[in-house]
Amino acid sequence: MNETHWTAISAVATACAFGVVAWQSALTRRALKVSQAALRISQSALQTSQTVALDTARSRLDAGAPQVTVRLIPPVWPPLAASVTGGMPVDPWPSGHSWHFPQDQHHSIVLQAAVVVENHSGWPVQAAFDGDLIVSTGTDLRITPAPTPVIVPGRDSSGTPGTIRVYLQKTFTILQLSENHDAHENDRQLPHRVTGTVTVHDDRDNGTEDTWNLLLTGHPVTPNPDRGSVWFVVPEDINGRSGLRSLTYDLLPPRERAYWVSRRRRTALDEAPPRQVG
Protein backbone atom coordinates (compact mmCIF):
# COMPACT_ATOMS: atom_id res chain seq x y z
CA MET A 1 0.00 0.00 0.00
CA ASN A 2 1.16 3.48 -0.70
CA GLU A 3 1.54 6.14 1.92
CA THR A 4 -1.89 7.62 1.20
CA HIS A 5 -3.60 4.32 2.04
CA TRP A 6 -1.71 3.99 5.30
CA THR A 7 -2.63 7.54 6.25
CA ALA A 8 -6.29 6.85 5.58
CA ILE A 9 -6.22 3.63 7.61
CA SER A 10 -4.48 5.47 10.47
CA ALA A 11 -7.10 8.21 10.44
CA VAL A 12 -9.92 5.65 10.54
CA ALA A 13 -8.25 3.82 13.42
CA THR A 14 -7.77 7.05 15.33
CA ALA A 15 -11.40 8.01 14.79
CA CYS A 16 -12.52 4.58 16.01
CA ALA A 17 -10.32 4.92 19.08
CA PHE A 18 -11.80 8.32 19.86
CA GLY A 19 -15.25 6.86 19.37
CA VAL A 20 -14.53 4.02 21.79
CA VAL A 21 -13.16 6.47 24.37
CA ALA A 22 -16.19 8.73 23.97
CA TRP A 23 -18.52 5.73 24.27
CA GLN A 24 -16.74 4.55 27.43
CA SER A 25 -16.86 8.08 28.84
CA ALA A 26 -20.60 8.25 28.16
CA LEU A 27 -21.07 4.88 29.86
CA THR A 28 -19.02 6.08 32.84
CA ARG A 29 -21.06 9.28 33.17
CA ARG A 30 -24.29 7.31 32.90
CA ALA A 31 -23.10 4.85 35.54
CA LEU A 32 -22.06 7.77 37.78
CA LYS A 33 -25.47 9.40 37.40
CA VAL A 34 -27.18 6.10 38.21
CA SER A 35 -24.92 5.67 41.24
CA GLN A 36 -25.60 9.22 42.44
CA ALA A 37 -29.34 8.77 41.97
CA ALA A 38 -29.20 5.51 43.92
CA LEU A 39 -27.22 7.26 46.68
CA ARG A 40 -29.79 10.05 46.89
CA ILE A 41 -32.62 7.51 47.07
CA SER A 42 -30.73 5.62 49.78
CA GLN A 43 -30.09 8.80 51.77
CA SER A 44 -33.73 9.87 51.42
CA ALA A 45 -34.89 6.44 52.56
CA LEU A 46 -32.51 6.60 55.54
CA GLN A 47 -33.74 10.07 56.51
CA THR A 48 -37.35 8.92 56.18
CA SER A 49 -36.60 5.87 58.30
CA GLN A 50 -34.90 8.02 60.96
CA THR A 51 -37.81 10.49 60.96
CA VAL A 52 -40.32 7.66 61.37
CA ALA A 53 -38.23 6.15 64.17
CA LEU A 54 -38.01 9.52 65.97
CA ASP A 55 -41.74 10.15 65.56
CA THR A 56 -42.47 6.66 66.90
CA ALA A 57 -40.19 7.23 69.90
CA ARG A 58 -41.75 10.65 70.58
CA SER A 59 -45.25 9.17 70.38
CA ARG A 60 -44.26 6.49 72.88
CA LEU A 61 -42.89 9.12 75.28
CA ASP A 62 -45.95 11.35 74.74
CA ALA A 63 -48.22 8.45 75.69
CA GLY A 64 -46.45 8.04 79.03
CA ALA A 65 -45.88 11.73 79.79
CA PRO A 66 -47.49 13.32 82.85
CA GLN A 67 -50.55 15.45 82.11
CA VAL A 68 -49.67 18.86 83.52
CA THR A 69 -51.17 22.26 82.72
CA VAL A 70 -49.90 25.74 83.51
CA ARG A 71 -52.28 28.70 83.36
CA LEU A 72 -52.39 32.32 84.42
CA ILE A 73 -55.20 33.93 86.36
CA PRO A 74 -55.97 37.33 84.78
CA PRO A 75 -53.65 39.97 86.28
CA VAL A 76 -54.84 42.10 89.17
CA TRP A 77 -56.50 45.34 88.02
CA PRO A 78 -56.25 48.18 88.95
CA PRO A 79 -52.52 47.54 89.43
CA LEU A 80 -51.24 47.24 92.96
CA ALA A 81 -49.14 49.64 94.98
CA ALA A 82 -45.93 48.22 96.41
CA SER A 83 -46.18 47.30 100.09
CA VAL A 84 -44.31 49.66 102.42
CA THR A 85 -43.32 46.66 104.57
CA GLY A 86 -41.89 44.68 101.67
CA GLY A 87 -44.62 42.06 101.87
CA MET A 88 -47.12 40.93 99.27
CA PRO A 89 -48.95 43.95 97.82
CA VAL A 90 -52.68 43.95 98.50
CA ASP A 91 -53.88 47.49 97.81
CA PRO A 92 -54.52 48.88 94.33
CA TRP A 93 -53.76 52.46 93.48
CA PRO A 94 -56.93 54.53 94.00
CA SER A 95 -58.98 55.20 90.89
CA GLY A 96 -57.92 58.45 89.26
CA HIS A 97 -54.66 58.66 91.16
CA SER A 98 -52.04 60.68 89.30
CA TRP A 99 -48.27 61.06 89.45
CA HIS A 100 -46.47 64.30 88.72
CA PHE A 101 -43.12 64.05 87.00
CA PRO A 102 -40.38 64.35 88.02
CA GLN A 103 -41.17 64.31 91.75
CA ASP A 104 -43.39 61.17 91.62
CA GLN A 105 -41.63 59.24 88.86
CA HIS A 106 -39.99 56.83 91.31
CA HIS A 107 -43.27 55.73 92.90
CA SER A 108 -44.01 52.07 92.21
CA ILE A 109 -46.61 49.84 90.60
CA VAL A 110 -46.67 46.06 90.93
CA LEU A 111 -47.65 43.89 87.95
CA GLN A 112 -48.94 40.57 89.28
CA ALA A 113 -50.67 37.45 87.96
CA ALA A 114 -51.22 34.15 89.77
CA VAL A 115 -49.77 31.07 88.06
CA VAL A 116 -51.50 27.73 88.66
CA VAL A 117 -49.67 24.45 87.99
CA GLU A 118 -52.05 21.46 87.90
CA ASN A 119 -51.02 17.82 87.73
CA HIS A 120 -53.81 15.71 86.24
CA SER A 121 -51.71 12.53 86.28
CA GLY A 122 -52.03 9.78 88.82
CA TRP A 123 -48.44 10.18 90.00
CA PRO A 124 -46.37 13.12 91.34
CA VAL A 125 -44.13 15.34 89.22
CA GLN A 126 -41.30 17.72 89.97
CA ALA A 127 -41.69 21.41 89.11
CA ALA A 128 -38.90 23.97 88.94
CA PHE A 129 -39.40 27.74 88.87
CA ASP A 130 -37.09 30.44 87.56
CA GLY A 131 -37.31 34.18 86.97
CA ASP A 132 -39.87 36.53 88.53
CA LEU A 133 -41.93 33.81 90.25
CA ILE A 134 -42.57 34.33 93.95
CA VAL A 135 -44.66 33.15 96.91
CA SER A 136 -45.66 34.87 100.14
CA THR A 137 -45.00 33.35 103.55
CA GLY A 138 -45.80 34.11 107.17
CA THR A 139 -48.35 36.42 108.70
CA ASP A 140 -46.55 39.43 107.24
CA LEU A 141 -46.92 37.98 103.71
CA ARG A 142 -43.18 38.18 103.24
CA ILE A 143 -42.16 37.71 99.58
CA THR A 144 -39.65 34.98 98.71
CA PRO A 145 -38.66 33.35 95.42
CA ALA A 146 -40.84 30.39 94.52
CA PRO A 147 -39.25 27.30 96.11
CA THR A 148 -37.59 25.07 93.55
CA PRO A 149 -37.78 22.23 92.91
CA VAL A 150 -41.08 21.20 94.45
CA ILE A 151 -43.22 18.08 94.18
CA VAL A 152 -46.68 18.54 92.69
CA PRO A 153 -48.85 15.63 93.87
CA GLY A 154 -50.91 13.59 91.45
CA ARG A 155 -54.70 13.80 91.29
CA ASP A 156 -56.55 12.43 94.27
CA SER A 157 -59.19 9.70 94.37
CA SER A 158 -61.93 12.19 93.48
CA GLY A 159 -60.08 13.25 90.33
CA THR A 160 -59.02 16.64 91.67
CA PRO A 161 -55.59 17.52 90.26
CA GLY A 162 -52.62 18.25 92.47
CA THR A 163 -52.05 22.00 92.46
CA ILE A 164 -49.26 24.49 93.15
CA ARG A 165 -49.85 28.26 92.98
CA VAL A 166 -47.12 30.87 92.61
CA TYR A 167 -47.12 34.49 91.44
CA LEU A 168 -45.57 36.09 88.39
CA GLN A 169 -44.73 39.46 89.91
CA LYS A 170 -42.36 42.41 89.64
CA THR A 171 -42.30 46.01 90.83
CA PHE A 172 -41.71 48.88 88.40
CA THR A 173 -41.37 52.61 88.85
CA ILE A 174 -43.84 54.92 87.15
CA LEU A 175 -40.90 56.16 85.08
CA GLN A 176 -40.22 52.63 83.79
CA LEU A 177 -43.87 52.13 82.89
CA SER A 178 -43.92 55.49 81.12
CA GLU A 179 -41.04 54.12 79.02
CA ASN A 180 -43.23 51.10 78.22
CA HIS A 181 -45.98 53.49 77.12
CA ASP A 182 -43.59 55.34 74.82
CA ALA A 183 -42.34 52.04 73.34
CA HIS A 184 -45.93 50.92 72.72
CA GLU A 185 -46.76 54.20 70.98
CA ASN A 186 -43.75 53.72 68.70
CA ASP A 187 -44.36 50.00 67.97
CA ARG A 188 -41.23 48.89 69.82
CA GLN A 189 -40.80 45.96 72.19
CA LEU A 190 -41.67 46.97 75.73
CA PRO A 191 -38.41 47.17 77.69
CA HIS A 192 -39.78 46.39 81.17
CA ARG A 193 -41.26 42.91 81.52
CA VAL A 194 -42.12 40.25 84.10
CA THR A 195 -40.80 36.85 83.00
CA GLY A 196 -40.65 33.39 84.50
CA THR A 197 -40.15 29.76 83.56
CA VAL A 198 -41.91 26.63 84.80
CA THR A 199 -40.25 23.27 84.04
CA VAL A 200 -41.93 19.95 84.84
CA HIS A 201 -40.91 16.29 84.59
CA ASP A 202 -41.58 13.05 86.43
CA ASP A 203 -39.03 10.60 87.85
CA ARG A 204 -38.21 8.82 84.57
CA ASP A 205 -34.74 9.32 83.11
CA ASN A 206 -35.98 8.36 79.62
CA GLY A 207 -39.00 10.61 79.24
CA THR A 208 -40.26 14.12 78.58
CA GLU A 209 -39.62 17.52 80.12
CA ASP A 210 -42.12 20.34 79.63
CA THR A 211 -41.30 24.04 79.84
CA TRP A 212 -43.58 27.08 79.92
CA ASN A 213 -42.09 30.55 79.38
CA LEU A 214 -44.30 33.15 81.06
CA LEU A 215 -44.59 36.83 80.22
CA LEU A 216 -46.48 39.73 81.75
CA THR A 217 -45.87 43.25 80.52
CA GLY A 218 -47.79 46.31 79.44
CA HIS A 219 -48.23 50.06 79.60
CA PRO A 220 -50.69 50.52 82.50
CA VAL A 221 -50.02 54.26 82.87
CA THR A 222 -50.78 56.98 80.35
CA PRO A 223 -50.00 60.70 80.22
CA ASN A 224 -52.59 63.39 80.72
CA PRO A 225 -53.20 64.68 77.16
CA ASP A 226 -53.20 68.28 78.38
CA ARG A 227 -50.42 67.99 80.94
CA GLY A 228 -47.71 65.62 79.72
CA SER A 229 -45.89 65.71 83.05
CA VAL A 230 -48.89 64.11 84.77
CA TRP A 231 -49.46 60.35 84.45
CA PHE A 232 -52.38 58.21 85.62
CA VAL A 233 -53.61 54.60 85.47
CA VAL A 234 -55.13 53.65 82.11
CA PRO A 235 -58.91 54.20 82.46
CA GLU A 236 -61.83 52.35 80.89
CA ASP A 237 -62.32 53.02 77.19
CA ILE A 238 -65.56 54.22 75.60
CA ASN A 239 -66.69 50.59 75.19
CA GLY A 240 -66.35 49.90 78.91
CA ARG A 241 -63.20 47.78 78.62
CA SER A 242 -61.02 48.06 81.68
CA GLY A 243 -57.44 49.23 81.65
CA LEU A 244 -56.48 45.54 81.73
CA ARG A 245 -56.37 45.86 77.94
CA SER A 246 -53.06 47.67 78.37
CA LEU A 247 -51.37 44.49 79.64
CA THR A 248 -49.89 41.65 77.57
CA TYR A 249 -50.06 38.05 78.84
CA ASP A 250 -51.14 34.50 77.91
CA LEU A 251 -53.74 32.81 80.10
CA LEU A 252 -52.62 29.50 78.56
CA PRO A 253 -48.92 29.96 77.80
CA PRO A 254 -47.53 27.62 75.11
CA ARG A 255 -45.73 24.48 76.22
CA GLU A 256 -42.37 23.38 74.85
CA ARG A 257 -41.55 19.67 75.18
CA ALA A 258 -38.10 18.09 75.22
CA TYR A 259 -37.61 14.35 74.71
CA TRP A 260 -34.79 12.67 76.59
CA VAL A 261 -32.95 9.43 76.00
CA SER A 262 -31.34 10.26 79.34
CA ARG A 263 -32.40 13.38 81.21
CA ARG A 264 -29.67 12.82 83.82
CA ARG A 265 -26.95 12.81 81.14
CA ARG A 266 -28.78 15.52 79.11
CA THR A 267 -28.90 13.32 76.02
CA ALA A 268 -31.80 14.50 73.86
CA LEU A 269 -33.70 11.99 71.74
CA ASP A 270 -32.70 13.57 68.42
CA GLU A 271 -29.05 13.81 69.52
CA ALA A 272 -28.64 10.19 70.59
CA PRO A 273 -25.97 8.23 68.66
CA PRO A 274 -27.25 5.26 66.60
CA ARG A 275 -27.23 1.98 68.49
CA GLN A 276 -25.16 -0.92 67.17
CA VAL A 277 -27.26 -4.00 66.51
CA GLY A 278 -25.81 -7.52 66.65
User: Model pTM?
Assistant: 0.78
- Cα 11 to Cα 1, 5, 7, 8, distances in angstroms: 15, 10, 6, 5
CA atoms lying within 13 Å on the CB side of residue 241: 6
Please say whether the dihedral angle defined by the alpha carbons of residues 168, 110, 174 and 96, taken in this order, is positive or negative. Answer: positive
Averaged pLDDT of the chain: 83
Rg (CA), the chain: 34
CA–CA dist 166, 129 (Å, integer): 9
49-64: per-residue pLDDT in tens? 556 667 777 888 888 8
pLDDT by residue (tens digit) across 67-119? 999 999 999 898 999 887 778 887 888 777 899 999 999 999 999 999 999 99
